[in-house]
A and B are shown apart, each in its own frame.
Chain A
């Protein structure tokens, strides 16, 4: 089975505002974000606040690392058997999003902020190594 993303859909995908919420909502589908959530967002001295289900959220804008784009992808139809090919379309894209904490000011210690470190670490780990520096790491010379 192959999983493909239609590259042409990327070009036409509009920018979208994304929110990363500190909870799990047992529902898939559209939500009245503009009416119910965006209206609760306030800019306070020490960052953004909002409310979800009556609970206080503290947020910050997270810009994606250089060279990365966020994609909202959607499956076209659904595969019936496991070996059927599946195709995905880019519905929307984003270059930043708002990360919300539950009742806790955002900090570098948040799981999400720490997870983003992986991008730099992965880059360093997977960078091709030339012979000289690889020799150096073995012999120390």
Chain B
């Protein structure tokens, strides 16, 4: 080993000799252009250029104003950046609904005094509805059913984990192509079960528990079988209602701040996930969202974007109804079926319906209300009435031209002369449908919501049916009817405005007569609103 002898001696000498005078100048010059390991180890990526042709125009109508970016507020940004944010939203609801389950099963059999029944049917649905109309999918961000299943799926309450529990399958494509149709189906089914067992009626509180357990379990199964929030997007009974009615809301959801940055981004952490956040559980890309339809407000994209290019935007009410450039047929049929369902729920409080239902049951040998045939029949009839009206308007005014575009084979995006009227008109009707659902909940709310307090107290052994609040009604029947009609009137006005805008953009270009189609579509909205209002008067505040 020669280290101690020639090695160091040689190096020292060289060390002294080497950097001298003018000779060193070029060396120094080269030093400033040092090779960087990054340059040597990088993978040569020659990605194509993403197209931004027509992008500005495509999103002009739906992009929120930069000034309405809530995430610019440091306090809110810090909150939303915190991984515990959504956990803390879900937690209170989680507590409430596990209480519902246990109190429903173990508590008093008097529905009005049972916290499970009281909170679920007297208050919760109304609150969810108000959140929808104001915010959009606010409920989804705090939903205890999906929230719980998501904790299990992620193996964490709020941490970013890498390995998901469960199979992580993709939802079968033929079913995914149906969009909102499956969730509408599950909503119709759930409503039928609720009516059949008289769960909300209010019937046996244990039934409420079973229903909640059923939802939790089915959510859990879907979260463990499929990836992300497949359940919430493709199955959840409430998703169509929250999605469509929520599009009246004033929160646009998480959107890109600068779309060019999103397009140039080659990693799409908001979709695939990064150290700080999961990829969008809802399959939404902030870079192309043009409505709040599928934004679950879970803040994951906001957390994961390495560019800080995502904001939480406000928008004017009804923007997501009128603005989206892309109209989806599944949304339209979803709205139509929801309309059918709410009409059924109004109609079933009338004497005429009772007679029909009883008669049908005796013919078909079905035990009791509601007979599935008239149930489904009325819902479909309601939906087809809408579709028929749109068909007539199309025949009267349409030019028959069909815009050519991609997605020809897809149920959601296929274009036909009928659809070019039906789909936009269904969007325009959303405020009426929303108002109708809300109005339908009002009698229960006004008559029985005060019972929540004695019911809550009853868990701890206080209060009884004799407690004053138990039989307090916030409003008399006449007052309720008036309120309902007002709600419908407000909804109809909103729908008239929406339809005016929708017709101007989507119907006029495919119509022979601009004025005619506008008038016809507005008349259609007014007729729907009037029909609902009349039914409320007939129902006279029945539950």
Do A and B come from the same complex?
no
Residues of A at the B interface (CB closer than 8 Å) are none
Residues of B at the A interface (CB closer than 8 Å) are none
